[in-house]
Structures are given as C-alpha cells and as structure tokens.
Amino acid sequence: MAFLELKQLEKTFFSYDSWTTAVEEINLSIEEGEFVSIIGPSGCGKSTLLSLISGLLHPSVGEILLDGVSIKNPTPETGYMLQQDYLFPWLSIKDNITLGLTTMGKTEDKDMELAYQLLDTLGLSDKEEHFPSQLSGGMRQRVALVRMLSTDPKLLLLDEPFSALDYQTKLKLEDLVFSTIKEHNKTAILVTHDIGEAIAMTDRIILLSERPGRIKEQFIVPANLQTMLPFDVRANHEFNPLFQTIWKEMESHEDGSQGDATTI
C-alpha cells in the first residue's frame, strides 16, 4: 500500500444550470518521502486536485487514502502552502507561525520549538515581532513555509507557491523550500505551471490533460538530478532535454501540434 493513494478520482462542480468536471479518472500512488509535481494547462484542475487531497473538497467519485485512511476532511497531517501567503495581517509573525499549534491546543514550549527553530533556519528570527505588511513577498512566503511545517504534517501540498514572486526570489526560495523539505523527510506535492520548476524541484512529474484533467503522462526525473539543489539542476546538461520532452508533450495536447520550446 502506498503512502498516498488517489483512486478513480473525479470532481464535478454543480451550479443551478450547469456543471464543470474539473478532474476525472485520476489514479495515482505516491510513496513516503517522494516529491511529486503536477503540471498542466491553466484551468485543468491542478488546484482542485490539491484541495481534494487536503480534504477541503470532497470527490464526486473515488477515494483518497493517506496512510491507508480515507481522507474526508482537512486534518493536521496535511500542510498547505499557496501562491498567496494568507498570513493574518493583524498577527505578528510569531503568532502567525504558531497559530496552527495554538488551535490544536499545543502551546507548550516543546510544541513551539520546531516553529522557532525553522524561523531561525530560514533567517527570520529577527522578524518575530514584525507584522506581515512589514515583510517582502519572499519573506512572507518563508513565513508561510514555517507555518506549514510547524505542526509537523506528514504531507505537504504546495500550490504555485512561487508564482507571485520575482524570478530571483523564486529561484532562491526553490532552493530553500527544497532543502527544508528534504531535511525534514517530508512527502510533498507541488502544483506549478512552470516545467523548469517541476524538473528542478521534484522526483516525478505528473502531466494533466486539458480540463477535465486526466493523467496524460508521467516523467521520472533522473536520479542524480533528484538530489541536487534546484538551482544546480537548472544548470545541468540533463535539464534542457527533459524540458523539451515535457514541453512538446504539453503542446501536443493544446492544439495538436508540436512546438519548440524557447530557451529559458
């Protein structure tokens, strides 16, 4: 039995006069410690899939098993990080990162230790008493990373966490998030529209078709790239051939033609 299993998942949204099937026939197994990315055209159901895995949305058909247990509702075993940090503007950084723990009733020093330790590792310990509006976008995403990890979840879900950042900040944060996830031996799923980011950060890339999203293809990132820092993967000679392969596969579903990738 795999750590995370998606079985024949389908999600249809209904309104009073229409419906939209976002994803269908999704069968996927993810092993403990794996870092998997989900890519695909805009609107193909990537965020819907993560919301289903988080338990925030319920599948119309199918089932999700985390460690053999069916996911019905959000649980502290799953951490979520989004494009926007959703930090509470009226709370200090310290209170933002420990909010999850506080709501779980874990307020003792030993419970808080991981959160403070992470804040320190990510270079933010001097920002504890600051408020989110006093921090840059990159810093706020680092705080969001600490908040996600502070409750020590088993599974991390990252939905385009770098897409609102400038390119340099994004590259630096890719390295930081990658190292943090590896250091804490987490299982993680990254949704991105950036093929390069998927190759640089993850072990396996799941390509979804246009909506309704189905698994079109999977790509295993070469083992030697899997352990490298994302920045170094992008500079490696094996990066571009894989980028081209995935690009062509993605293009082939959008309009039936095969396009050439522009260099990145």
The least CB distance from residue 23 to ligand ADP, in Å, is: 7
Q: Where in 36-65 is the site for Mg ion (CB under 5 A)?
A: 47
Nearer to ligand ADP, 67 or 210 (CB): 210
Nearer to Mg ion, 38 or 173 (CB): 38
Nearer to ligand ADP, 42 or 263 (CB): 42
Nearer to Mg ion, 47 or 187 (CB): 47
- 241 is a site residue for ligand ADP (CB under 6 A): no
- CA atoms of 69 and 73, how far apart (whole Å): 11
Binding string, residues 45-74; x marks residues near ligand ADP by CB under 6 A: xxxx--------------------------
Binding string, residues 190-219; x marks residues near ligand ADP by CB under 6 A: ---------------------x--------
Residue of 43, 74, 123, 241 interacting with ligand ADP (CB under 6 A) = 43
The least CB distance from residue 210 to Mg ion, in Å, is: 14
Residue of 4, 6, 9, 22 interacting with ligand ADP (CB under 6 A) = 22
Nearer to Mg ion, 186 or 211 (CB): 211
- CA atoms of 27 and 9, how far apart (whole Å): 7
* Residues near Mg ion, by CB under 5 A: 47
Which chain residues interact with ligand ADP by CB under 6 A?
13, 20, 22, 42-48, 211
